[in-house]
Amino acid sequence: MNVRFTSILFRLACVFLCACSDDTISEVPSLDLSGDGRAIDTSPAPETQSDTDTIEDVQPDVVDASVDATPDVFVCKDNASCDTKNPCTQDWCNVGTGECQHTPQPDNICTDGDACTVNDICTASGQCFGAKQVVCNDNSPCTKDSCDKLSGCTFEPIDASCTDNDVCTKNDACVVGVCVGTKIACNDGLDCTEDSCDKNTGCSTVKLNNLPCDDGSACTVNDLCDKGACKGSNINCSDTNPCTQDACDKVSGCFSTPASAGSKCTDGNACTINDNCQDAKCVSGSQKNCDDNSVCTSDSCDAANGACLNLPVVGVFYCNDNNACTTNDSCTLGVCTGKILQCNDGLACTQDTCGANIGCMYLVQDKSPCNDGDACTIGDTCFTNKCEGKVKTCEDNNDCTIDTCDSAVGSCNFTANDGYYCSDANACTTGDVCKGTKCSGVTIICNDGNLCTSDSCNQKLGCVFTGTPNAPCEDGDLCTTDDICQQTVCKAKPIVCNDQNTCTKDSCSKATGKCVFQTLNDTNKCDDDDLCTIADICLAGQCKGSVNACDDSDPCTVDACNPKDGKCDHTKKPNCP
């Protein structure tokens, strides 16, 4: 509303009030607002008034009726004084005329103050208009839907019949605006089924698997669901006692009764035989005899399976195989074997044989070409009652073979002398023994534990420990430093602990390697390195002395101690009487 129109209204109000003072009401012109906010008189014009007359033309007469009631006309000075807070108009001040202008802003977003409209927008006339009414519908049969201009949609609960569209409920009814039904119970009473209800199809049952359950029997454990049925594994009622009879009762569980006296059992030791039950206990029988009468084996019995263990004896190599035709009998892998005895008396015409019970036998042959019966000799000829032939040599110079010659065919046989002590001619091995046909030993470790030696092994000499002078080492003393090898001995310099304080006893801790400074008694004499102090003694770990005043009792001298030599200087005061 512009200033001019406001002024017109104010004047008309004054005319109206003045006209009513004599209890009479004067006729007031009818006004209308034009698009630009100006007031226009719409009442019938007087006959004497021309068509161009306006309300302003008659204002002088109205003003004359009550001059004192005319207010001052508002004149704007800036845009802020014209602001009507209307988002649908642009408010500004026409400084030239002093009138406020309010230009409509169509299509501006605004709010019409009505919560029941949406998409509010400014019109061409500068008014805020809600383009669309809010539809209030919560799709519930249990509420009355409406809209309040201040608060918006309201849903008032009502009492009414309803259905919640759920077959898993019954007795549906509206409760505080919500359709609620009572849940039906789906339960078949079985542990191994899962009962549920689908709101569309109703109750359903699923047979479960591998879930814990209880089949009601004390004779089963680990009960699990199997295709909807509860099944358990039979409980093991064994008390591990072979002299009891074990059983199970479905109600009370496992129980045992003693077996008959003398019943066979096993005491858990397979090396006993004829075990039998006595008073529900298994009494061990006699021990199994596993003695194989061989000095080459250590005989024992395996308690787990009753098998006799005849293990080769370690370190026993000499035995008797009771065969007079062998010599140097020794144990090899638990068996006593000997080197075949060569029966040859060296006589040309004797037939040399060997009997297992008596040993070598020599039968005399006539002078003639002969055969000593030994294919391991060649060119046999009888001479002076002797059949002489050249013995075939079967020697491979290997201590780990038993060298023999097959007297039947004359071929050499080299049998592995396994387990026989030998020498592999290597001073860097020990415990040399034949393994198959090879002599091998365990490599010795050359370590004298001395960091100042280089340890090595010479195949001819054995361990060699060579000094490593100037090599870093560790003498194991935390109170030494700069450890270094001198020939084969680790030597080091002692750590010097000196805090330059004569009132402490300086030492190094063997346990930590750190310096320890122990405060001496306060009565200990010391030297504070000050020549002008006397009677220096330790006080609280510090050396302190009494200052030498050098007083010569002469008031005419200035007494002082010379810090360079500690001597007293007595300088004469001038003009001293």
Shared domain for 61 and 10, answered yes or no, is yes
* pLDDT at residue 99 in the model: 92
Shared domain for 151 and 178, answered yes or no, is yes
* pLDDT at residue 56 in the model: 34
Shared domain for 44 and 98, answered yes or no, is no
* pLDDT at residue 76 in the model: 92
Q: Where do the H-state alpha helices sit in 156-296? A: none
Shared domain for 7 and 38, answered yes or no, is yes
Distance CA 290, CA 195 (A): 68
* pLDDT at residue 64 in the model: 41
Whether 240 is covered by a domain: the verdict is no
Shared domain for 147 and 172, answered yes or no, is yes
Nearest to 391 by CA among 413, 407, 367, 408: 407
Shared domain for 100 and 119, answered yes or no, is yes
Whether 543 is covered by a domain: the verdict is yes
Which SS3 state, helix, strand or coil, does residue 80 take?
helix
Whether 359 is covered by a domain: the verdict is no
Last residue of a domain, one of 69, 97, 118: 69
Secondary structure string (H, E, C) spanning 245-272: EEEEECCCEEEEEECCCCCECCCCCCCE
* pLDDT at residue 29 in the model: 34
Whether 87 is covered by a domain: the verdict is yes
Whether 449 is covered by a domain: the verdict is no
Distance CA 325, CA 322 (A): 9
* pLDDT at residue 71 in the model: 55
Structure tokens at 183: 């849940």
pLDDT tens over the chain, length 577 residues? 443 434 433 444 333 333 333 333 333 333 333 334 333 333 333 333 333 333 233 333 333 434 444 456 888 989 888 998 899 999 999 988 889 999 999 988 999 888 899 999 999 998 999 889 999 998 889 999 899 989 889 989 988 889 888 889 988 899 888 999 889 888 887 888 888 898 888 888 888 888 888 888 889 998 899 888 888 899 999 888 889 988 999 888 899 888 888 889 888 888 999 889 998 899 988 898 999 888 889 899 998 898 999 998 877 678 888 899 999 888 888 888 889 988 887 766 777 889 888 889 887 776 678 777 788 888 777 776 667 778 888 888 888 999 888 888 888 998 998 888 898 889 999 989 999 889 999 999 999 888 899 999 999 999 999 999 999 998 888 999 999 999 899 999 999 998 888 888 889 998 888 999 888 887 788 888 888 888 888 888 888 888 888 888 888 988 889 888 888 988 888 888 7
Beta partners for residue 327, in sequence order: 339
Q: Which amino acid is at 127?
A: Q
For residue 372, count other CB atoms closer than 10 A to its CB: 28
Q: Tell me how many domains the chain contains.
A: 4
Which SS3 state, helix, strand or coil, does residue 77 take?
coil
Distance CA 440, CA 429 (A): 8
| Terminal CA-CA length for the chain | 118
Whether 296 is covered by a domain: the verdict is no
Whether 11 is covered by a domain: the verdict is yes
Cα 211 to the center of its chain, rounded Å: 32
Structure tokens at 570: 């007595």
Cβ-based neighbours of 549, under 8 Å, separated by 6 or more: 559, 561
- Give this prediction's pTM: 0.27
Distance CA 419, CA 436 (A): 8
Buried b (16+ CB within 10 A) or exposed e, 463-495: eeeeebeeeebeeeeebbeebebeebebebeeb
Shared domain for 164 and 123, answered yes or no, is no
Distance CA 421, CA 417 (A): 9
Distance CA 408, CA 412 (A): 11
Q: Which domain, by its residues, includes 178?
A: 143-183
Whether 52 is covered by a domain: the verdict is yes
For residue 378, count other CB atoms closer than 10 A to its CB: 11
Shared domain for 12 and 40, answered yes or no, is yes
